[in-house]
Amino acid sequence: MRKIEVVQGILDANDATAEGNRATFDANGCLAVNIMASPGAGKTSFILRTIEGLSRDTRIAVIEGDMASTVDAEKVQGAASAVVQINTKGMPESCALVADMVHVALSRLPLDQLDVVLIENVGNLLCPAEFNLGEHLRIVVSSTPEGDDKPIKYPLIFADADAVVINKSDLLPYVDFDMDRFTQEVRNLNPRVRFFPLSCKTGEGVAEWVAWLHDQRPSG
C-alpha cells in the first residue's frame, strides 16, 4: 500500500517548497544563507560587509525581503552580482519571507554563476523563525542597543540559529548590554551555536565572520 502524503496546513506546504529550493541551491553548488533580525539591527550593513569580505573569490546574490520599498535592494545593488527584491505587503503571509517567495526569486537569478545567496528576511524576530526557506544556514543578527534579554523573549529564532552575530559592538560603552548574559542565554537554547561580535560601522570583528562563512561553502 502506498503511503498517502497529507499536507497539513501552511507550514507543511512551506516545508515542501523549501525542500525544492534546497535541491535547487545544491544542484548549483550555491550556499544559501537566511539572515534574520529585528528592524534596525543592521542586516543590510551586515550584508554589505559580508559581500566586501567574501567577494574576491565569491560570486554573491542577495534576495531582499521587505514589507515595502526597495531601499535595501538599492543599497546592495552596486556590491552584489545580482539582487532580487521581494515586497511582502499584501501577501497572505506578510510577516516573514516564505519558501514560495524565495522560489520565485530563484527563477530570476543566474544560479549556475553564483556561489552564495544571501537572503535578507524582513525585520522580525518572531515569524521568520517558523518558515524554512530551503537555506543551508540560519543567521540571527542581534545588536547591542536591543538589550541582552532578547534570547529570553524570542527563544525560537535563537534556538534554530547556526550563528548569532552581535552587531554594533562600537556602541557597547553607551548601552546596557551584558555580553556574557546574552551568550549564556543563547547557549541555554542552542549549545552548538557560533557567536560573532562585530561592528559593521567600524569593521571590527567582520573578518572572523567572513572566514567562518567562507568555510561553509560546499567547495570549502
Interacting residues with a copy of itself (CB under 8 A): 38-40, 66-69, 71-72, 89, 94-95, 122-127, 143, 145-147, 149-150, 152-156, 168, 170-171, 174-175
Cβ proximity to a copy of itself: between 23 and 68 the closer is 68
Q: Which positions ≥6 away from 163 have C-beta within 8 Å?
A: 137, 139, 140, 193, 194, 195, 196, 209, 212
Q: DSSP string covering 105-170, please?
A: HHTTS-GGG-SEEEEEEEE-SSGGGG---S-SEEEEEEEGGG-TTHHHHSHHHHHT-SEEEEE-GG
Residue (89 or 192) nearer to a copy of itself, CB: 89
Q: Which of 159, 165, 151 is nearest to 198 (CA)?
A: 165
Toward a copy of itself, which CB reaches closer, 174 or 218? Answer: 174
Closest CB 29 distance from a copy of itself, rounded Å: 32
Closest approach, Cβ 94 to a copy of itself, in A, equals: 7
Torsion angle, CA of 93/46/63/38, rounded to 10 degrees? 0
Q: Which is nearer to a copy of itself, 67 or 111 (CB)?
A: 67
Taking the complex as a whole, the smallest distance from the CB of residue 121 to a copy of itself amounts, in Å, to: 11
Q: Which is nearer to a copy of itself, 28 or 143 (CB)?
A: 143
Smallest distance from a copy of itself to CB 138, Å: 17
Smallest gap from Cβ 182 to a copy of itself, in A, equals 12
